[in-house]
Amino acid sequence: MEIQVQRPVMENNEMISEELSSLFSLKKILVLNLISSPGAGKTSLLERTLSDLAAEFRMGVIEGDLKTDNDARRVAATGAAAWQINTDGGCHLDSRMVREALSHFDLDNLDILFIENVGNLVCPVEFPCGEDHKIALLSLPEGDDKPEKYPLLFNLSSVMILNKLDLLPHVDFDLERAEKFARALNDDLKIFRLSCRSGEGLSNWYAWLREARQAKLL
């Protein structure tokens, strides 16, 4: 029954998402939808990326949270354009919210737009927001079984980032096991092991970003 009443909401979301996707293609903006559990490090990844690539790309961030504008303030401190959406209890961003947020960005002067979704491994996956790629973050303390237990995210993402690599000596996380499960769901998945804290592995993520941006210009 629940699926039935949800269907019109999801169909409407898909329609607006396709409209946004066309707009982003026209403007040649690479759009990435970051999805993870609460506290996996989405905002930390953005802080590092926005700072390290500031000279290379014009970047903006749409932040999604139930409450507070903490994250928008954190990423704005890097100098990037940032806009906070508060869902007021809602468990995911949707394409209508993203469309409304766009009025706060200068789309003619933007190379990459990051959408930092609400911390949730389930619901955001079902609501595309016009993005080119979903980026799944999984932090080591969460456990290596998460791709198996929350398969849809890893199935639909282009990239899986294994974050908090600096904690590897202190937690039970089998990197190969997590990667094997994720690849079984998705042959094409790119996987980057990194630590936003130490900076280890970030250069591979940056190389992928450059390629994805280049592909958008073709």
Q: Which residues bind its own copies (CB under 8 A)?
A: 1-2, 5-6, 8-9, 37-40, 65-68, 70, 89-91, 118-123, 139, 141-143, 145-146, 148-152, 164, 166-167, 170-171
Give me the least distance between CB of 47 and its own copies, in Å please. 13
- Nearer to its own copies (CB atom), residue 110 or residue 162: 162
Give me the least distance between CB of 130 and its own copies, in Å please. 19
Give me the least distance between CB of 67 and its own copies, in Å please. 6
Is the separation of the CB atoms in 138 and 169 below 8 Å?
no
- Nearer to its own copies (CB atom), residue 106 or residue 172: 172
Q: HEC profile for the chain? A: CHHHHHHHHHHHHHHHHHHHHHHHHHHCCEEEEEECCCCCCHHHHHHHHHHHCCCCCCEEEEEEECCCCHHHHHHHCCCCEEEEEECCCCCCCCHHHHHHHHHHCCHHHCCEEEEECCCCCCHHHHCCCCCCEEEEEEEHHHCCCHHHHCHHHHHHCCEEEEECHHHHHHCCCCHHHHHHHHHHHCCCCEEEECCCCCCCCHHHHHHHHHHHHHHHHC
Give me the least distance between CB of 206 and its own copies, in Å please. 24
- Nearer to its own copies (CB atom), residue 38 or residue 79: 38
- Nearer to its own copies (CB atom), residue 105 or residue 166: 166
Give me the least distance between CB of 147 and its own copies, in Å please. 10
- Nearer to its own copies (CB atom), residue 28 or residue 99: 99
